[in-house]
Amino acid sequence: MKHPPDLILLDFSMPGMDGLAVCRELKLNPRTRDIPILFLSSVSDSQTKVDGFAAGAVDFIIKPFERSELLARVNTHLDLARLKKRLSKLVEEKTESLRLSEQRFRALIEQAPEAIMVYNMDTGRFVDANRQAEKLTGRSLQTLVGISPAALYAPEQPDGLPVAESVSMHSEQAQKGDIPPFERIVQRPTAAPFPARCG
């Protein structure tokens, strides 16, 4: 099939052919699975309709039918199919744009001479870090991602506040967009604590 149709009208009962089986085959084929299928049938019981929809049909038209009704339904499903394609294309474009943005972001933070750690204020956890952050903290990226800033800090801090309270205070300031640089004593797993300027 060089040019797949925009829509398929399929008779539920054809001589020597099972309409349901044909519908299922079309839905298994990558080239035709997204094409809307409308069943035409002289049988109107509920189970027949259920079977048709389960096979992948989008509509069920009972024979005999009015030509105007058929055209109206066909046009409706063609419009829906076109809208679905546009939305799918938009999602693909946005996904690709996001992927490229993430690549650029990753390249920037990896090339930065400073230690950079990305913090999620909703979860209170780090979600990313660069190699400089790994070196500075003495922890791998896998270890850093998912932990709270409090897990990095030594018990004694310059502001004299308990670590958890200090982290909470700076998180609230960050949410307001008002967080000046501050100093923290970072505790490495296998080395002495050291001061680090944050912000």
pLDDT tens profile 7-31 = 999 998 888 888 999 999 999 999 9
- Are 100 and 118 found together in one domain? no
The whole-chain average pLDDT of the chain stands at: 86
Q: Is residue 1 part of a domain?
A: no
Cβ(71)–Cβ(40) below 8 Å = no
- Are 36 and 101 found together in one domain? yes
- Are 29 and 95 found together in one domain? yes
Q: Is residue 126 part of a domain?
A: yes
- Are 133 and 53 found together in one domain? no
Confidence at residue 88, expressed as pLDDT on a 0 to 100 scale? 94
Averaged pLDDT, 157-163: 77
CA Rg, the chain, in Å? Answer: 30
Quick check: bond before 64 cis, omega within 30? yes
Q: Is residue 2 part of a domain?
A: no
Q: What is the pTM of this model?
A: 0.57
Q: Is residue 77 part of a domain?
A: yes
Specify the range with the lowest mean pLDDT, choosing from 20-24, 49-53, 179-183: 179-183
Tell me the C-alpha distance between 44 and 153, whole Å.
71
Domain finish residue from 55, 70, 105: 105
Q: What is the DSSP letter of 3?
A: S
Domain finish residue from 105, 129, 152: 105
Tell me the C-alpha distance between 41 and 48, whole Å.
9
When mean pLDDT is compared over 129-138, 157-166, 186-195, the highest value belongs to 129-138
Domain finish residue from 54, 81, 105: 105
Residue 165 structural domain: 112-198
Confidence at residue 73, expressed as pLDDT on a 0 to 100 scale? 94
- Are 172 and 93 found together in one domain? no
- Are 92 and 131 found together in one domain? no
The total domain count for the chain is 2
Confidence at residue 52, expressed as pLDDT on a 0 to 100 scale? 93
Tell me the C-alpha distance between 191 and 152, whole Å.
12
Strand partners of residue 34: none
Confidence at residue 145, expressed as pLDDT on a 0 to 100 scale? 92
CATH number of domain containing 186 = 3.30.450.20
- Are 60 and 120 found together in one domain? no
Strand partners of residue 60: 39
| Nearest by Cα to 74 from 127, 36, 29 | 36
The band of 44, judged by pLDDT with boundaries at 50, 70 and 90, is: confident
Tell me the C-alpha distance between 128 and 126, whole Å.
6
Query: pLDDT by residue (tens digit) across 58-113?
Result: 999 999 999 999 999 999 999 999 999 999 999 999 999 999 998 998 898 888 88
- Are 31 and 97 found together in one domain? yes
- Are 12 and 82 found together in one domain? yes
| Nearest by Cα to 133 from 118, 121, 122 | 118
Strand partners of residue 38: 9, 59
Confidence at residue 192, expressed as pLDDT on a 0 to 100 scale? 67
| Nearest by Cα to 22 from 52, 59, 62 | 52
